[in-house]
Structure 1
Amino acid sequence: MKKLTIISSVILSSLLILTGCGSNSSKKSNVTSKVKVVKQSSSKEKQKSVTKKKSGALWNSDKDSRLEDFMKQWGEAMDQTYTKYDGTNNIQTASGMNYPQDFDSATVDGHDVSMAWNKKGTGKNDYNVVAIYNYNNSSSSSITYAFTLADGEPIVLVNEDSGNNWNETKNKLLKENFVNIFDGKATHVEKPAASSSSVKNSTKGTEDMGEGRGGYVTTPEAMRGTWYSKDENGITKLVISEHEITHVNPDGQGGRITLYKKTISTPDNVSQDEVKAKMEWGDARYTNMNGLQYINVLGWYQSAGAGAYYAAHTEEINGNRVPIIVEGGGAEAWTYAVYYPSEDLANQQVNTKYEDLHYQ
């Protein structure tokens, strides 16, 4: 473990100083508090109460049309073009999934659930999917939204992984407008505000931010949040937002990297003052290795080495599928650290190695 600690420190240091070295069975909902899931009732009383509150179908063509209009406007604001499921032909995502066909093996926050297409929203699934929208942002990655009703409550799920795990979206605008459409209220679309940090939208690849920055690289929603890893030196904290990754070491020291799309070549000779000025700029891109989709981050002026790799993943812990962040480095993106959603889990799983992760 000491070796992993040393290597992990080297990966972080290389970013900060800009140097580097080279079948669907019966499923039960068991989902953490991150996603509100209504468990199947053993009686029919709960379903009857929903039916009384919302007579007839919970979802109809009028609501569907309003959602379609909203998604078109929202996609334009985000510089993304979404394809809607037409009710007949599966949506094929760039990450290799087919929906709604593959809902039968889907998980939410790593937990087994019943999830299925249900046009009226009145099915007995944990998640009754009433609309599906997909955007392929590259030849191998996609963003898929499932607009669902969970026991009559509108919930938007998102999948940005290369697998079939879903999470409740953290996009406030999407959540609010889906509720508004469900309740028959007006919708609104706001174009993301421009800023120098994590609140700016980065999906427009041609955006010119100056000095070789062609816009931000956006992290998957499943990666965002605060994560913890434990080694012999203590707890390291990893904070991931839309466009930034921050490490805080056990001693409380840390560094932040902002993720940019680099559009210029690295010059041969760079002054130390220039290197210092760009210390928090990261040259980032998506890459698929070892069965995972990583964000690979190099220092802005890094001319050698592989940089650091970060991927959202899930592992079975104590009988539950738990979301984790995998950090790797080196030529083969060897796993150097695993980050968990809580310090308790990090302490519990210290020194654990997983069979499906790639270690040196």
Structure 2
Amino acid sequence: MLYNYSGVLHIHTKYSDGSADFRRIAKAAHKSGARFIVINDHDTLQGLYQEGEQYLNGILVLVGSEVTPERNHFLCYDINSVPDNKLQPREYVQEVYRQGGFGFLAHPDQKSNPLFPAKMHWENWDLDMPYGIEVWNYFSQWMSSFKTKRGLLKSFLFPKLCLAPPQPQTLWRWDQLGKTRIVPAIAGVDAHGGRQFGWIPNILSSYLYQFKTLRTHVVCQNPLRGDLAADRSNILCALKKGCCYLVNHLADQVEHFSFYLQDAEQCWQMGDEVTHKPGLVLRVKLPVKAHIKIIKDGKIFTQSKAKSLRLPNPQPGVYRVEVYKGRFWPRPWIFSNHIYLREAVK
């Protein structure tokens, strides 16, 4: 039996440029329906030292960091200290893995905005390390959704309209990297909180609103039982492996989504590498009917409007799923991690 847990990643607190402590943020997460959150304050683990990883309001609170030079930001997890952001990208990524941690390129293809000209994209993807990618970032998309003051006002008042699919170039690079190694992916909110503006649904309104946008759902072999050490290991192992899928909760919530590969005896999940052999079947299962696309090696392999999809005898390749929901205006809903079907070695 597998267990699905919905989490919010890439959150900033009062220990960098956010507006609340762990307890207030966990309270917002509880109201949003999340099961866990991961803090990524800029260049610090102060929140870990001051408040610690713990359960608050029934929410598992985990702490990482975000290495933030001018550009080439890197989300890192399971570390003891934050690498110096004055190092070269290869050096601080290497330092994260040297500590036994892991990480993700943050908002790697964020577009610059003439009203906020800071450039925070990732410049150098040629790193000889098993890094992952934050392929979907809510705040990054919001920042890229306007170029004029009038557009800023529209985005400020109606942020739901800003949430598009992940950047095509990010998805393409992710698919190409997957041809040679496992490349885990996450969705980040990049939440900073802010003043409470009551009913106005804008990016600055509250952590609660932002937590209802993008989620990363992990798929675990064991349930969360309230044991901090065991549950922490459960969540981090799933994120590190890419045994997770990304959900736009503004399109719809989802309790269970399945994308797996099986034969008569065994079943493999997202993040698994499998050697090709006869008799394999790829399966997709949704809670409701929607537009399913199976992507192979960066290109649409097959698609259908259905509640489930079955692909018998898939050939070697890197497979993932995109799901869109809505009749007249299909909205991006679910993006899976890859299943890596490798050619048999002769």
Which is bigger in relative contact order (C-alpha 8 A, separation at least 6)? Answer: 1
Flag the structure with larger Rg: 1
